Amino acid sequence: MPTRPHVIDEMISAKAIAARIEDLSREIQQEFKDTDKLIVVGLLRGSFVFIADLVRELALPIEVDFLEASSYGDSTVSSREVRILKDLRGAIEGRDVLVVEDIVDTGHTLTHVRHLLESRQPRRLKTIALLDKPSRREVEIKADWIGFEIPDEFVVGYGIDFAQRNRNLPFIGKVRFLET
């Protein structure tokens, strides 16, 4: 599927992302220092690069699982309808859980996922998002940890896509659409 003509301007460098992940991992380790195992739940697909880098920095016993939720499809705007496309493989009741999200935009996805997982009665449930766009929030939610707060820009890279493209960029870039 062809995409609209666009260029990508670097917004957050790979080096800045790596440094922030180191800082976040220390805070997460402190929060979960008493855990026997932390279940790190990546929200697919956009979080897969972030989750990989984050878990490598955590000096904790870890289990990784994934949940796939969708509210965008190939659009640049949230549909506000959250669908669970892939559920967790394991149970989380009584367990310590960290949900890893790529970006909190309207807040609908993280709110939906948080309610879903809370209903499964984990011991502790915390959330982390690489990016936060508070100016776009439609529901009251904030991740426990935020990598970077960004303005209302459409971004790609570091796992985040535009119509399944640009996930492989090592940085976060702002998409600038060209006039045609």
- Which structure tokens are listed for 57? 């920095």
Task: Give the model's pLDDT for residue 162.
Answer: 84
40 strand-pairing partners: 64, 98
Q: Is the pLDDT of residue 77 over 70?
A: no
User: How many structural domains is the chain composed of?
Assistant: 1
Task: Give the model's pLDDT for residue 2.
Answer: 56
Q: Of the ranges 11-20, 77-86, 110-119, 152-161, which one carries the lowest mean pLDDT score? A: 77-86
Rounded-to-integer distance, Cα 55 and Cα 58, Å: 5
Range of the domain at 157: 6-28+36-69+78-177
Q: Is the pLDDT of residue 72 over 80?
A: no
| Contacts (Cβ under 8 Å, ≥6 apart) of 19 | none
* 85 falls within a domain: yes
CATH of the domain at 17: 3.40.50.2020
Q: Is the pLDDT of residue 73 over 80?
A: no
* 150 falls within a domain: yes
Cβ–Cβ under 8 Å, residues 28 and 53: no
Q: Is residue 132 annotated as a catalytic residue, yes or no?
A: no
Average pLDDT over residues 61-88: 77
pLDDT in tens, 117-149: 999 999 999 999 999 999 999 999 999 999 999
* 105 falls within a domain: yes
* 110 falls within a domain: yes
* 90 falls within a domain: yes
pTM: 0.91
Q: Is the pLDDT of residue 79 over 70?
A: no
Side chain identity at 65, as an amino acid letter? D
* 1 falls within a domain: no
- Split at pLDDT 50, 70, 90, the class of 1 is very low
* 52 falls within a domain: yes
Catalytic residue among 53, 87, 102, 105: 105
* 102 falls within a domain: yes
Mean pLDDT of the chain: 92
pLDDT in tens, 13-46: 999 999 999 999 999 999 999 999 999 999 988 8
